[in-house]
């Protein structure tokens, strides 16, 4: 429209300059609006890409959940999708920034031209909507990225669970192997028990057979009694001894046998029984080897036996045997000594003949008496001399030997 200024009317130079400026500003506003529309389109495209990224992230999450064995690959894909979504979110943010810059330019153009301001406000509103939409899409893309990260975490968890399941499966396999070994051992033990049971059954069968045979034998013996004439023959057929006809009162009842006495019942012989009773050798020594009650209450106090040389006291005399010449021992041994009541002197046997023993003087030691008869061979003891008073008779066949260098004087 025409703008009238001063007298020059419309179309002067100043007026043309003003119109050109307005036109230029309008063009700038139009350009800004076009740029805002392009920014809005870019924001829409970014939002579409963010939606696509969200879909891809969802698909990646679905793929991660579908199989534990592909968990690692799904996690990698989800990580890639998250990275892509993050990049798209950055692009959307950049677009929003550009839209905000365009809105600022539009606002500046509105100040320069009212008409352009209206168009710019419209463009600004559209750009703000696009920016809001882009921001929403960026938020959605960020959410998708979060979901993708969660899916990746879930996939990692599933992979860990799969590993745990594999470990549990290996443990179960080991347990199953152990149980199989135990079952094998139990089967072996059962087989052994079965063998033992079979052996026991065989032994039982043998015992039953033996019992049946014993019963059969007993029955046969019983049958053998049916045609016997008397009880004596029946006892003989049954192999009974004299105990069968002995009254029970003739035996000592088991209750009357002491516990210690019962130990003698199964001793094989008297020697074993004496050992059981703890008896010593005195138990088998003849009673005549001990002093009798008449001889004294104790062995130390007993009277002398006929064959014992005793003493009258510790300072008295020994009681030597005394008897006539005819009562000498029939088979004397060297060293025997006695008192000869026939000659009235002590005599001793030197291994070959009896002879007088010194100290036999009578009459207070004044008279030495000797026998007047030699009835047995005699040889003077080596390195000694002999003396006798006659008359003296040497019995027929008897010899008195005097060794060389020695003398026997007969007065």
Q: Kindly report, residue by residue over 38-82, the tens digit of the pLDDT.
A: 776 776 676 677 667 667 766 755 654 565 455 456 556 656 765
Answer yes or no: is 410 within a domain: yes
Residue where a domain stops, chosen among 166, 187, 208:
187
Residue where a domain stops, chosen among 168, 187, 206:
187
Exposure letters 95-123 (e unless 16+ CB within 10 A, then b)? bbebbeebbebbeebbebbeebbebbbeb
Q: What is the mean pLDDT of residues 297-312?
A: 64
378's enclosing H/E stretch is strand 378-379
Answer yes or no: is 75 within a domain: yes
- What pLDDT does 403 receive? 94
Answer yes or no: is 285 within a domain: no
- What pLDDT does 68 receive? 47
Answer yes or no: is 155 within a domain: yes
Asked whether the predicted pLDDT for residue 391 surpasses 90, the reply is yes
Q: Tokens 């860990």 — which residue?
A: 160
Which residue in 375, 374, 395 sits closest to 386, CA to CA? 374
Q: What is the mean pLDDT of residues 11-37?
A: 65
Q: For the segment 309-334, what is each residue's pLDDT rounded down to a tens digit?
A: 788 888 988 888 999 999 999 999 99
- What pLDDT does 163 receive? 78
- What pLDDT does 76 receive? 66
What's the CA gap between 124 and 101, in Å, rounded?
A: 10
Q: What is the mean pLDDT of residues 222-226?
A: 61
What's the CA gap between 128 and 83, in Å, rounded?
A: 27
CA 54 to chain centroid: 68
Answer yes or no: is 390 within a domain: yes
Residues 6 or more apart whose CB falls under 8 angstroms from that of 29 comprise 106, 109, 110, 112, 113, 116, 117, 119, 120, 123
Residues 6 or more apart whose CB falls under 8 angstroms from that of 165 comprise 68
Query: DSSP E strands: which ranges in 45-94?
Result: none
Residue where a domain stops, chosen among 130, 154, 187:
187
Domain that holds residue 374: 320-411
181 and 325 fall within a common domain: no
- Give the CA distances from residue 299 to residues 291, 292, 306, in Å, rounded to whole numbers and listed in that order: 6, 8, 15
Answer yes or no: is 218 within a domain: no
325 and 178 fall within a common domain: no
Q: For the segment 239-285, what is each residue's pLDDT rounded down to a tens digit?
A: 888 888 888 777 766 666 666 666 777 778 888 888 888 888 888 88
Asked whether the predicted pLDDT for residue 103 surpasses 60, the reply is yes
Q: How much helix, strand and coil, in percent to the nearest 5, is found in the chain? A: 60, 10, 30
Instruction: State the pLDDT confidence band at 343, using cuts at 50, 70 and 90.
Output: confident
Answer yes or no: is 78 within a domain: yes
Asked whether the predicted pLDDT for residue 150 surpasses 50, the reply is yes
Range scoring the smallest mean pLDDT among 100-104, 298-302, 363-367: 298-302
pTM above 0.85, yes or no: no
Answer yes or no: is 364 within a domain: yes
Q: How many domains does the chain have?
A: 2
19 and 162 fall within a common domain: yes
């Amino acid at each position: 429209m025409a703008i009238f200024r001063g007298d020059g009317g419309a179309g002067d130079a100043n007026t043309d300059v003003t119109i050109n400026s307005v036109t230029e500003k309008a063009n700038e506003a139009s350009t800004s609006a076009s740029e805002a529309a392009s920014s809005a389109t870019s924001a829409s495209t970014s939002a579409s890409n963010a939606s696509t990224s969200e879909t891809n992230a969802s698909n990646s999450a679905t793929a991660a959940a579908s199989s534990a064995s592909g968990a690692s690959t799904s996690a990698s894909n989800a990580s890639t999708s998250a990275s892509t979504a993050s990049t798209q979110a950055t692009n959307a943010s950049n677009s929003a920034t550009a839209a905000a810059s365009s809105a600022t330019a539009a606002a500046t153009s509105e100040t320069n031209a009212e008409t352009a301001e209206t168009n710019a406000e419209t463009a600004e509103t559209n750009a703000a909507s696009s920016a809001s939409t882009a921001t929403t899409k960026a938020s959605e893309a960020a959410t998708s990225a979060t979901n993708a990260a969660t899916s990746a975490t879930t996939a990692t968890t599933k992979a860990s669970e799969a590993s745990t399941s594999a470990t549990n499966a290996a443990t179960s396999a080991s347990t199953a192997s152990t149980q199989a070994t135990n079952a094998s051992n139990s089967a072996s033990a059962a087989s052994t028990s079965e063998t033992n049971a079979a052996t026991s059954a065989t032994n039982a069968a043998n015992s039953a057979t033996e019992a049946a045979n014993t019963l059969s034998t007993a029955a046969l013996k019983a049958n053998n009694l049916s045609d016997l004439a008397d009880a004596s023959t029946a006892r003989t057929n049954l192999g009974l001894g004299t105990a069968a006809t002995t009254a029970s009162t003739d035996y000592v009842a088991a209750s009357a046998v002491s516990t210690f006495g019962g130990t003698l019942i199964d001793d094989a012989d008297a020697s074993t029984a004496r050992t059981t009773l703890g008896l010593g050798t005195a138990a088998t020594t003849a009673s005549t080897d001990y002093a009798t009650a008449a001889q004294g209450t104790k062995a130390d106090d007993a009277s002398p036996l006929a064959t014992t040389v005793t003493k009258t006291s510790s300072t008295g005399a020994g009681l030597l045997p005394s008897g006539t010449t005819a009562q000498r021992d029939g088979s004397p041994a060297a060293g025997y000594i006695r008192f000869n009541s026939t000659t009235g002197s002590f005599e001793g046997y030197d291994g070959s003949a009896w002879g007088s023993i010194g100290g036999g003087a009578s009459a207070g030691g004044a008279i030495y008496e000797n026998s007047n008869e030699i009835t047995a061979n005699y040889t003077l003891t080596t390195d000694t001399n002999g003396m006798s008073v006659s008359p003296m008779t040497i019995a027929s066949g008897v010899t008195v030997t005097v060794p060389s260098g020695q003398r026997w004087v007969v007065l």
